Structure 1
C-alpha cells in the first residue's frame, strides 16, 4: 500500500489560481552558486533507502531575495535537488520540475518520481526545488501538530449553521497561527516571486534557457515564467493546467464537479470489481453516505486517533486523483463500513502531509498561503454562502466554500500580479489536458492554451490528475519527443488512456 501510494502521491496536488506582468530584468549575481552536497533529510513514504546513499543525487541551497522589491535586502535559501543524467555524453542540460500544490515539496517528490522519469533522466539532469514558503525554503508554519490535527479533522457535514460557525472559528484560529509563526514570509510567497526564483535557479545552473515541466499548480508557475521571461524559455511542458482567469467561485464549483464525476466513475469501477462498498452503484453510494453521516456524529477510533467525517472525505478525495489508488479506496471504504478506519485515515494523511510520527509537512499550510496571496479576491459572506450552497447541490460529499473562507481573513494582502499570462515571444510550449481530471477540469486546458500565444494543446482521454505520469504511452511519447528531440506535436492531437 505504501509503495502504491508513493507512486500515486505524484498526482496528489491540489489546484490554485493565477499568473503576471513582465518584471524589470533581474541582475543575477554571476558569483551566485548553488552549494551542492549530500541529501540528508529526504522524506520517503515507501520505506526505501534515503537518496543520500546515491552519489548521483545531490541537494543544495540557493540564496534569493525575500522581497524582489528590495533585491539587496534580506535573503532566503531555496532548497533544491539534482539527479544527474545517466547518458552524460548526450546530456542536453537541466530540466526543472514543479509537481504542483501550491505547497508540494519538489525535493521530496523528485526523489520519489525519479524511477518514473528514467527516459528524461537519460538526457537531462533532473532538478526540482521547494518553492518559497514550502518546506525547507522558509516553509509556512501555522501552529504545531495538535493544531493541524484539529484543523484537518473538521467536519463538513451536516451543512448547517453550526458546522459553518465551527469552520469560521477554525479558519480564524488557523490564520492567526500562520501570522504568528510565519508573518515575515507570508507577503512574499506569491507565484510572481517564485517565478523570479526560477530564473535565478536557471542562471545558477549555468543554463541559457529554462527547460521545464510543470504539473497542476506548476502549470501556473510555468505560464507566469513564460510571461515574465519569454526570452529565457527553452522546452516547456504544462501538464494538468490551471486557467488563471477563473475566479474563486467558478473554480470551486468546477473542481466540485470534477471530484464528483471522478467519485461516480470510481463507484462504477468498484462495483464492477465486486468491491465491498456495495453490490451496485446506488447501494454503494448509499453506504458511503451512511458512513459519512455516522462519522459526523461519532468518529471511528483508530489507535489514539479518530477518523472524523472531514478526514474521511479528505481520504476519498486523495484517492480520486489517480486510478492507481481506486482499488485502495474501495478496500478502505469497505473496511470503514465494518468499523475499521485505519486505511481511510492513511489515505487522508497522504494528502495532508501528516507523517507517522504526528508531524506535518508544510503542504496544508503553504497551500493557502500561496493561494491567498496570489489574488486580491476576498469573497464576502454572501458569496461564500452562495458558493457553498451551489457546491452542495453538485456534490453533498465534496461541496464546500473552497479556499474563499480562509482567504477572506488572510493576514497578508493579495496581489493580482499573477493573473494575466500570454508568453508572447517565448519558445513553443506544450500544454497537456486530461478529459477526466478531477482537480483541474479539462476546460481549463484549451483556455490556458489560448492565453499562451505560443502554446499547443494535447488532450488525454483518461482518468486522473495529470497525464504524463498516468501510464499513457501515447502521452509519454509525445512529451518525451518534445523535451528530448524538440519535436512539437501537431495541433489537435489526443491520446487514449492505454
Structure 2
C-alpha cells in the first residue's frame, strides 16, 4: 500500500467519527489499510465492518469484513452511493478492487464493496482448499462420477470439522446475514439509502436486502438474476441445453453457418459420445496441465463449450468449434479445455453454508440427479453446486421457508438478462416483473452471463440511476445485432 493510500485511509477515520460508535459497539467500522495495493492518486477508503457471527445468538462472537469506499469524483456527489456485490456464493468482492478510474458511476456518486461474511478476505475466511483441489481433479477428467461425489462429500466433512473445531458457527453464514451486514455498513458509514447492484448470486443477495430493509434502498440493478424461488440444481444442465439450442437454431437460420455446419445438433451429440467412448487426443500446453494427465471425455468437452458460451466474442464461433472438433480438428477446442483447467477459486466453506442452508433443502433430489444423467447427452457433467450428500456432511441449519419465495418490492429495479446466459436464463429475470411492479426488464442480444458489463449496459445503468422512475434510453439496446453466426463459416485464423 502506498503512502498516499495510507493518508486516505487515515482521513477515513476522521471522516467517520461523526457516525462511528464506541470501540466496543457493534456494528462498528475500523479503518485499516486496504487489502491490496490501490491507486495512489484516488480517494479510496478501506476498513473492517465488525458484526456478530450469528445475530440470532446473544453471545455470538464477532467477525470482521473488509469494506472499501471509492469516493466520487463529483464536487457534489449524490447522497446515495452504489453498493456492488458479485456472484458466487464464494466470490470475493474486494480482492480485485484497486482503482475506480474506469468506473463511470464515480462521476456521480460513491461506490462501495463489502466482502461477504466468510469470503476470501473476511475474518474468518471459510476456505476449504481440499475441495478446491478436488474441483481441479474433476476439471481435468481425473476424477468423475460417483467417486467424485464421494470425495467431495468426504472433504466437506473434513473441512467442516476444522472450522467447527476453531469455534466457527457455520449457521451464521447465510444470504440473510450478509444482507444485514450490508445494512450495517450503510448505518456505520452514515448513508440514509443505498443503490444496490448485484451480479448472478449477488442478485439474490440484493433482493434479500430489499426484502429485509426496504426503506433503505433507493434503487436496485440486477444482472443475470438468480431469484430466491428458483431451484438451480434441478435445472443446471437444462439451462445449458437451452443456450445450446439457441446456438444450433441460430446457426441453422444463418445461411452461411447452416451451409458450413449442417446438422450441428447431431454433430455435437456425436462429439460428446465419441469422447466418452475414447478420450480425445488433445495436445495441451504443459504449463496449463502442471505436468499431469488430462482426460478429455464428454464432460470436459461440455465444460469447454460452456466456457465459450460465457464469452460474447466466442459465441458466434461455437458452431465452427463443435463442427471442427467433431471432424477430429481440436485446434479451437483445445484452448477452451485449457482455460477450464485448474483448481476452483471459490471460497467453498461460504458457498456450502449458503447453498446447503437455503437452496438444497428446497430441491428435489431426483431432479438434481437427472441433471447428471448420461441420457441428456452432456457426458454426465455436473453443473450443480453441491450434492445432497455433500450438504448432509456440511450439516447447517435449514433456512426459513421465506428464503425460497419471491421477493415483493416497490423499489425501482433495473433487470438485465443475456440472450445466451447458460447459468441464469432470461426467464428468471423476466419473472421478477410479477412481484416487483416498478421493475424494468432489459434483454441484451448476443450477451451472456453479466450482460450489462459493456458500454451499452453502462449507459442504461447511468440513466436509470439518475432517474429510476423515468423511461429508459434503450437506443443502444435496440441496435444490438446479436450473435453473427456467419462468422463460423469463415476459416479459423492460423
* TM-score category (smaller protein): 0.7 to 0.9
Q: Please give the per-residue CA displacement for 1:353-406, whole angstroms capped at 9, x wherever unaligned.
A: x5xxxxx643455333322222362767644443433x8526447565653443
Give me the TM-score of the superposition, normalised by structure 2. 0.74
Aligned to 2:76: 89
Which has the higher relative contact order, 1 or 2, with Cα contacts under 8 A spaced 6 or more apart? 1
1:63: Cα distance to partner?
0.5
1:432: Cα distance to partner?
2.2
User: How many angstroms apart in 2 are the aligned matches of 1:468 and 1:339?
Assistant: 31
2:156 to 166, 171, 175: 175
> Are the equivalent residues in 1 in contact too, given 2:199–2:450 (CA < 8 A)?
yes
User: How many angstroms apart in 1 are the aligned matches of 2:44 and 2:256?
Assistant: 43
Aligned to 1:348: 340
Say yes or no: does 1:121 pair with 2:72: no
Q: Which runs of 5+ in 1 are unaligned?
A: 1-27, 42-49, 355-359
1:194: Cα distance to partner?
0.8
Higher alpha-carbon deviation: 228-237 or 308-317: 308-317
User: How many angstroms apart in 1 are the aligned matches of 2:34 and 2:378?
Assistant: 43
2:65 to 78, 100, 103: 78
Say yes or no: does 1:419 pair with 2:404: yes
SS of equivalent to 1:106: coil
> Are the equivalent residues in 1 in contact too, given 2:416–2:451 (CA < 8 A)?
yes
User: How many angstroms apart in 2 are the aligned matches of 1:340 and 1:482?
Assistant: 40
Aligned to 1:106: 93
SS of equivalent to 1:415: coil
User: How many angstroms apart in 2 are the aligned matches of 1:380 and 1:299?
Assistant: 40
> Are the equivalent residues in 1 in contact too, given 2:261–2:320 (CA < 8 A)?
no
Aligned to 2:121: 136
Report 1:12-91 matches (<5 A). 30-31=21-22, 32-41=27-36, 50-51=37-38, 53-70=40-57, 73-91=60-78
| CA distance 1:340–1:308, shift in 2 (3 Å) | farther
> Are the equivalent residues in 1 in contact too, given 2:272–2:302 (CA < 8 A)?
no
Aligned to 2:416: 432
Say yes or no: does 1:465 pair with 2:449: yes
2:429 to 433, 439, 445: 445
User: How many angstroms apart in 1 are the aligned matches of 2:239 and 2:203?
Assistant: 16
User: How many angstroms apart in 1 are the aligned matches of 2:32 and 2:159?
Assistant: 31
Aligned to 1:320: 309
Q: Please give the per-residue CA displacement for 1:308-346, whole angstroms capped at 9, x wherever unaligned.
A: 446665454334222145599899998996699984465
> Are the equivalent residues in 2 in contact too, given 1:65–1:73 (CA < 8 A)?
yes
User: How many angstroms apart in 2 are the aligned matches of 1:187 and 1:64?
Assistant: 15
| CA distance 1:54–1:328, shift in 2 (3 Å) | farther
Aligned to 2:133: 149
1:245: Cα distance to partner?
1.7
User: How many angstroms apart in 1 are the aligned matches of 2:81 and 2:399?
Assistant: 31
Say yes or no: does 1:208 pair with 2:192: yes
SS of equivalent to 2:196: strand
Aligned to 1:497: 480
> Are the equivalent residues in 2 in contact too, given 1:261–1:438 (CA < 8 A)?
no
Report 1:233-252 matches (<5 A). 233-248=217-232, 250-252=234-236
User: How many angstroms apart in 2 are the aligned matches of 1:383 and 1:332?
Assistant: 31
1:263: Cα distance to partner?
6.5
Report 1:328-343 matches (<5 A). 343=335
Q: Please identify the structure whose Cα radius of gyration is greater.
A: 2
Q: Please give the per-residue CA displacement for 1:196-244, whole angstroms capped at 9, x wherever unaligned.
A: 0110111122110021111111111111111111111112111111232
Q: Which runs of 5+ in 2 are unaligned?
A: 1-18, 482-494
> Are the equivalent residues in 2 in contact too, given 1:141–1:365 (CA < 8 A)?
yes
User: How many angstroms apart in 1 are the aligned matches of 2:198 and 2:345?
Assistant: 21
> Are the equivalent residues in 2 in contact too, given 1:103–1:134 (CA < 8 A)?
yes
1:30: Cα distance to partner?
4.1
Cα-Cα RMSD = 4.3
| CA distance 1:284–1:228, shift in 2 (3 Å) | closer
| CA distance 1:307–1:88, shift in 2 (3 Å) | farther
SS of equivalent to 2:443: strand
How many residue pairs are counted as aligned between the two chains? 442
1:220 to 186, 204, 207: 204
1:102: Cα distance to partner?
1.5
Aligned to 1:46: none
> Are the equivalent residues in 1 in contact too, given 2:460–2:474 (CA < 8 A)?
no
Q: Please give the per-residue CA displacement for 1:31-58, whole angstroms capped at 9, x wherever unaligned.
A: 45433444343xxxxxxxx425454334
Aligned to 1:362: 346
User: How many angstroms apart in 2 are the aligned matches of 1:115 and 1:308?
Assistant: 43
User: How many angstroms apart in 2 are the aligned matches of 1:314 and 1:436?
Assistant: 15
User: How many angstroms apart in 1 are the aligned matches of 2:160 and 2:449?
Assistant: 32
Q: Please give the per-residue CA displacement for 1:163-193, whole angstroms capped at 9, x wherever unaligned.
A: 5321331222232133123332432211111
Q: Please give the per-residue CA displacement for 1:5-62, whole angstroms capped at 9, x wherever unaligned.
A: xxxxxxxxxxxxxxxxxxxxxxx98445433444343xxxxxxxx4254543343211
| CA distance 1:363–1:331, shift in 2 (3 Å) | farther
User: How many angstroms apart in 2 are the aligned matches of 1:135 and 1:340?
Assistant: 34
> Are the equivalent residues in 2 in contact too, given 1:299–1:307 (CA < 8 A)?
no
> Are the equivalent residues in 2 in contact too, given 1:320–1:326 (CA < 8 A)?
yes
1:165 to 142, 146, 168: 146
Say yes or no: does 1:477 pair with 2:459: yes
Give me the TM-score of the superposition, normalised by structure 1. 0.74
